[in-house]
Amino acid sequence: MDRKTRKNNVIAFWLAVISSIFLLISGTTGAADWAKIEDAVLKYANFGFINNLFILVLIVASFGGITVLIGGISILKGKVFWGDLLISLGSGAAIIGFFLNLFISIIASDFSIFSYLSFSSLGVIFVISAQIFSNTKKNVKWYRRFI
């Protein structure tokens, strides 16, 4: 891993740590939206293995900030794919809610920056920043990213 990649991964780790603190304080998890997605998928494709897969996703997503912290540690260790995946699972509901509220505020033209300074929103901002700073390895065979 070169110096620039390592530096960006360290920055992504610290952003994930800050984000996990904000998400833990606010009590935000990614489980609620994943449960809605599970209901929609099982309505059309009711297979046993899909249900088991969603149970695993819901368990991981329900830890919220802790999952984001573990994702940050994975990024720091160079496992960027798994780190980004854990960060996305742990903050899923927060990201969707953040952008939905932002969209509604812009449409209603009563945009106020103070409504986005809650712990949950700050956690989402830091999560997105962490995912931007984490570098996926270029010129590496696709299966080597998982190992």
Domain ranges of the chain: 3-146
Where does residue 111 fall: left (phi above 0), alpha (psi -120 to 50 degrees), or beta otherwise?
beta
Q: What is the pLDDT of residues 3-44, one digit of tens each?
A: 888 888 899 999 999 999 988 888 777 676 677 777 778 888
Residue whose C-alpha is closest to residue 77's, from 143, 12, 4: 12
The pTM of the full predicted model, rounded to 2 decimals, is 0.73
Half-sphere exposure of 118 (CA within 13 A, CB side): 14
Rounded Cα distance between 112 and 62, Å, is 30
pLDDT for res 115: 61
Q: What is the pLDDT of residues 28-84, one digit of tens each?
A: 776 766 777 777 788 887 777 777 888 888 888 778 888 889 999 999 898 888 888
pLDDT for res 50: 78
pLDDT for res 136: 59
pLDDT for res 138: 55
Rounded Cα distance between 93 and 115, Å, is 17
**Helix, strand, coil % (nearest 5) of the chain?**
80, 0, 20
